[in-house]
């Protein structure tokens, strides 16, 4: 017995909104990459080890909640963008420090 989806949008249960989800991923990735880079660069002016420690502690602190929410329909796109942005921010900071 197939159950009808409730709500005003009547989306199919197995459909995935790739266009809207990809847009959310890109926007959240850009915002989080800029935030991670700016915060890390500001902390690196004090001491580079402080920047690394704060970023690692923040990532470890957020990880359990992100892991629990990874299959929630809308939140999964935001989490994917945030994870991508954090990685891009870290790589940019690392590239700046090495280069």
Instruction: Give the span between the Cα atoms of 89 and 34, in whole angstroms.
Output: 7
Asked, for residue 18, whether it belongs to a domain, the answer is no
Asked, for residue 19, whether it belongs to a domain, the answer is no
Query: Do the Cβ atoms of 89 and 97 come closer than 8 Å?
Result: no
For the CA atoms of 83, 47, 43, 95, the dihedral, rounded to the nearest 10 degrees, stands at -50
pTM metric for this prediction = 0.80
Q: Which tokens in the block code for residue 37?
A: 């880079």
Please write the tens of the pLDDT for every residue from 13-66: 667 889 999 999 999 999 999 999 999 999 999 998 998 999 999 999 999 999
Asked, for residue 13, whether it belongs to a domain, the answer is no
Alpha-helix runs per DSSP H in 1-99? 18-46, 48-68, 75-98
- Within its chain, how far is the Cα of 58 from the centroid? 13
Range of the domain at 52: 28-98
Asked, for residue 23, whether it belongs to a domain, the answer is no
Asked, for residue 33, whether it belongs to a domain, the answer is yes
């Amino acid at each position: 017995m197939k159950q009808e989806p409730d709500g005003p949008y009547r989306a199919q249960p197995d459909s995935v909104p790739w266009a809207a989800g990809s847009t959310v991923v890109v926007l959240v990735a850009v915002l989080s990459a800029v935030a991670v880079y700016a915060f890390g660069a500001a902390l690196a002016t004090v001491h580079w080890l402080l920047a690394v420690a704060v970023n690692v502690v923040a990532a470890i602190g957020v990880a359990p909640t992100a892991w629990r929410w990874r299959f929630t329909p809308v939140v999964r796109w935001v989490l994917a963008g945030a994870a991508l942005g954090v990685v891009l921010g870290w790589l940019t900071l690392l590239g700046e420090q090495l280069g």
